[in-house]
Amino acid sequence: MTTRLTLRPISAQEHRDFIAGQSSASFLQTPAWASVKADWRSESVGWHEGDTLVGVGLVLYRQLPKVKRYLAYLPEGPVIDWAGDDLAAWLTPLVSHLKSSGAFAVRMGPPVVTRRWSAEQVKAGIADPAVRRLGDVPPLERCQEGARVVAQLHELGWQQQGTEGGFAAGQPQFNFQVPLVAEDGSPRTEADVLAGMNQLWRRNIKKADKSGVEVRRGDAGDLEAFHALYAHTAERDHFTPRPLSYFRTMVDALGAEDPDRIQLWLAHHEGDLVAATIAIRVGTHAWYSYGASSTEKREVRGSNAVQWAMIRHALEAGAAVYDLRGITETLDADDPHVGLIQFKVGTGGQAVEHAGEWDLPLNRAIYKAFQVYLARRG
């Protein structure tokens, strides 16, 4: 890099416009995400080369109890050119800006892939009792770009946050994705994607269709119905549901950026809501974000039907990736998390490892105290 990069706060509009011009960025880096995370102070920042905006970041500031110091967090970001070999040129102005804004540490999640595994490899790994973690399986690919980012972050003094065991506290490092374009970049057909799924998925999609499951896109008016089913799912599967207001804010904020940014999907069978999901898309990246399903009528396979509808919609919108988000690293057949992996693996995509979340402590003492605080909170 020959020109020096400078960084300054930018408006939400500039931020949005820049992302609109990118082929993809994480939805956690859109300015709309700031309104979803209302308990965090937020700021849009932009890198400039001369007068040209060349990168953006959404910074969430989380205040430490009782002190006016913040953890500055850029979830799945920032949106910069990660492919180069001069990360210092990008990170130095960011860090000095955040430091002057009162940050005691910076946390970010470089959106770069470090390893990939095929669905077949993951499946074989689960079946093999000697394999306990995804990392025990030889990957399809180790990505040079991701490795280069990891190497540079080490060189620049960033610390990788552990993800041993289940889900890490932050964003998941391992995700499951279905590529919607072929290796040469040409779009895949519906038939091709369907053919890539395992037999169970194909059978279930067919079964849902035959038994008369109807999937349609919902609107804000359907949010309450989604939430009721989601709360039911939470009770059944023992997780803590988010309140309806959280989803209202999310739909309003993300929907305001782009009519297709956030979509509500509903699967009905003879008038009963059997599955409902929320999907998000930024550019060519489509995510399955939240899902809910009824305990009754599982045999009509509403969940498979709604997934298939979302995949078809993503294909139609020209997406390159359908992202089912987090999986744990475990491939231990006895681990309760393995069921979730098996469900996602059935789509025939790839398990993808990202570089993970990295911290740069700016004030060692406060950072240490913060880690102790986190460890206590569990």
Partner 1 sequence: MSLTLTVDGERWRAHLLATATRSPGIVPVAKGNGYGLTLGRLARRAQWLADHAAETGAPLDLLAIGTYDELGEVTSRYHGDVLVMTPWRPFGAALALDEQAAARVVHTVSRPEDLDALRERHPSARFVLEQLTSMRRHGMTRRELEAAAHALGSARSGLRGVALHLPLGTTSHLGEVSRLVNDVVASGLPTRTIYVSHLTHAEMGQLASRYPDFTIRPRIGTDLWLGDRGALRVTATVLDVHPVERGDVFGYRGRSAPKSGHIVVVSGGTAHGIGLEAPTGDQSLRARAATLARGGMDAAGFVRSPFSIDGKQRLFAEPPHMQASMLFLPSGARTPRVGEQVDVRVRFTATDVDHVVVD
Closest C-alpha among 278, 261, 320, 355 to residue 19: 261
Half-sphere exposure of 71 (CA within 13 A, CB side): 21
Tell me the C-alpha distance between 331 and 341, whole Å.
Answer: 8
Closest C-alpha among 80, 96, 110, 106 to residue 18: 80
Q: Closer CB to partner 1, residue 148 or residue 242?
A: 148
Least gap, CB of 333 to partner 1 (angstroms): 18
Instruction: Tell me, residue by residue from 74 to 93, as one string, x for binding to partner 1 by CB under 8 A and - for no binding.
Output: -----------x--------
Q: Which of residues 272-311 bind partner 1 (CB under 8 A)?
A: none
Q: Which of residues 186-245 bind partner 1 (CB under 8 A)?
A: none
What is each CA distance from 204 to 133, 209, 211, 265, in whole angstroms?
28, 9, 10, 18
368 binds partner 1 (CB under 8 A): no
Least gap, CB of 144 to partner 1 (angstroms): 5
Q: Find the binder of partner 1 among 62, 99, 148, 325 (CB under 8 A).
A: 148
Q: Which of residues 43-72 bind partner 1 (CB under 8 A)?
A: none
| Helix locations, 197-290, DSSP H | 199-210, 223-237, 244-257
Q: Find the binder of partner 1 among 150, 215, 266, 279 (CB under 8 A).
A: 150
* C-beta of residue 304 within 8 angstroms of C-beta of residue 208: yes
Spell out the residues 6+ positions from residue 371 whose beta carbon is closer than 8 angstroms to its own: none
Least gap, CB of 288 to partner 1 (angstroms): 29
Tell me the C-alpha distance between 357 and 371, whole Å.
Answer: 14
Q: Find the helix or strand (DSSP H, E) in which 190 lies.
A: helix 190-196
Q: Closer CB to partner 1, residue 29 or residue 121?
A: 121
Least gap, CB of 118 to partner 1 (angstroms): 13
DSSP assignment of 308-339, as one string?
A: HHHHHHHHHTT-SEEEEEE--SB--TTSTTHH
Q: Closer CB to partner 1, residue 223 or residue 351?
A: 351
169-173-176-181 Cα dihedral, nearest 10 degrees: 130
Residue the block writes with tokens 């890539």? 196
Least gap, CB of 357 to partner 1 (angstroms): 17
Spell out the residues 6+ positions from residue 359 whose beta carbon is closer than 8 angstroms to its own: 105, 106, 107, 158, 159, 161, 367
Instruction: Tell me, residue by residue from 118 to 147, as one string, x for binding to partner 1 by CB under 8 A and - for no binding.
Output: -----------------xxxxx--xxx--x
Residues in binding contact with partner 1, number by CB under 8 A: 14
Question: Quick one: which segment of 105-113, 149-157, 252-260, 288-296 binds partner 1 (CB under 8 A)?
Answer: 149-157
Question: Quick one: which segment of 150-158, 179-187, 256-264, 279-287 binds partner 1 (CB under 8 A)?
Answer: 150-158
Half-sphere exposure of 27 (CA within 13 A, CB side): 25
Q: Closer CB to partner 1, residue 127 or residue 151?
A: 151
Least gap, CB of 367 to partner 1 (angstroms): 20
297-300-301-306 Cα dihedral, nearest 10 degrees: -100
Q: Find the binder of partner 1 among 151, 182, 220, 374 (CB under 8 A).
A: 151
154 binds partner 1 (CB under 8 A): yes
Question: Quick one: which segment of 148-156, 220-228, 257-265, 278-286 binds partner 1 (CB under 8 A)?
Answer: 148-156
Least gap, CB of 95 to partner 1 (angstroms): 22
> What are the residues binding partner 1 (CB under 8 A)?
85, 135-139, 142-144, 147-148, 150-151, 154
